[in-house]
Amino acid sequence: MKTTNYSKIAEKYDKNQYRVKEISIDYDLKEYMDNNRKTEYHVLDLSCGTGLYLEKQSNYFEGQHNIKWNGLDLSDQMLSKANEKVENVELVRADVVDMPYESETFDFISNNYAFHHYTDKGTALNEISRVLKEGGIYKLHNIAILDMPKWWLYHYFPSAFYEDLKRYWNKEVIFNELIARGYEVDLKIVYKMENIKVMDYIVYAENRDISVLNLISEEDYKKGLERMRFDIKTNPEKTIVNDFAEMFCIAKKE
């Protein structure tokens, strides 16, 4: 399985406005705190990247609860960007399979758009279980590639789909692996299909900050980009059918 070198895309990662705008208030975290009153909460953003999630949540929850915010990532460059955004957050460079935390440290672990990057997913889940408190929540949020074969990216860069097949566990595997580790699991897929204008999406391809675009060959990348540009040149209003599926998995450690 190929892995993305985030040191090469850290500088342009936040230029993807969809990624920035997509981050919203984590109401699952709010619900957890509302239902589990404590004097202090320990929250980990696992594979925190440039700190977009931590920035949004720490600002929103400021003054509402006593929260110890933590972020872990393997990329120095991504953590450097996160450090520019957030204050009073403990940022740590480490691998998910060997986290430098005591057992049962965290009440809530958020894991956004990152699980597919882990080369040893089973060990990663074991380590997540180790550092999560009993009754704590592991929230896994990712795209569900098998439910979105008409994604615009796969339309123009078909080899990207085959790279993603090597990286993503399907929803059944994720569900069963969590159940096997003693979690109570609530997993849902949010799906939509729509017509999109190719013109609106070419900026994301040109920015090449979507991880899988860095895993396909240079030849395949250039061919896909040329196809997008040709379609736009031929018809600036060109549309294609696009589908997109997000997986939201809330796993409570029993």
- pLDDT (tens digit per residue) in 5-64: 655 555 555 555 555 566 789 999 999 999 999 999 999 999 999 999 999 999 999 888
Q: How is residue 115 written in tokens?
A: 């699980």
What confidence tens digit (pLDDT) does each residue in 150-195 have? 999 999 999 999 999 999 999 999 999 999 999 999 999 999 999 9
pLDDT of amino acid 4: 61
Angle between helical axes of 171-180 and 121-131 (0-180°, round to 10): 40
What confidence tens digit (pLDDT) does each residue in 208-236 have? 989 999 999 999 999 999 999 999 999 99
State the pTM of this model. 0.92
Question: Using 50, 70 and 90 to split pLDDT, how confident is the model at 2?
Answer: low
What confidence tens digit (pLDDT) does each residue in 69-113 have? 999 999 999 999 999 989 889 999 999 999 999 999 999 999 999
CA distances from 98 to 109, 124, 131 (A): 15, 8, 10
Domains (range + CATH), the chain:
6-253 (3.40.50.150)
